[in-house]
Amino acid sequence: MASQRGLQVACTLAIVFLLVGIVCYAAFPAKNPGKPLRIMFKSMAGKILFDHKTHESDSGYGIACMDCHHNLEEGETDPEKCGECHETESDDEEVLKRADAFHSQCIGCHKQEDAGPVKCEACHVM
């Protein structure tokens, strides 16, 4: 009988700790950074991990948001709209496809500023 009582106490404690953990997790969620710090792009050549912090911080490259997200209007903060312009299937021949826009802008800046990788395997690593 003593082992049955001990088992009940152990199960009760486990349930209590589980409930406390769930309540604490729900009460103190992780803070949203407001903008993505890192983005994983998927491509046929391999995944690319882009780090905003390295590009925008003064200790990194110090690039302004509008240098890359060039179509955001004043006061607009949704960079996803920038990606909408560079869809893979676009009727507008003047608008670059997403991969072409990234390649020309990213590699162009890396070469011009002599900062960052320029070879394919340096970005397409995953």
Residue pLDDT, tens place only, 23-63: 998 888 777 766 667 888 888 888 888 888 888 888 888 88
Q: Which two tokens stand for residue 74?
A: 């004043």
Q: Give pLDDT tens digits for 97-115.
A: 878 888 888 888 888 888 8
Q: Let me know if 66 is exposed, middle or buried by CB neighbors in 10 A (0-12, 13-18, 19+).
A: exposed
**What is the model's pTM?**
0.54
Token digits for 51? 């780090």
Alpha helices in 28-119 (DSSP H): 52-56, 65-68, 80-85, 98-102, 108-113
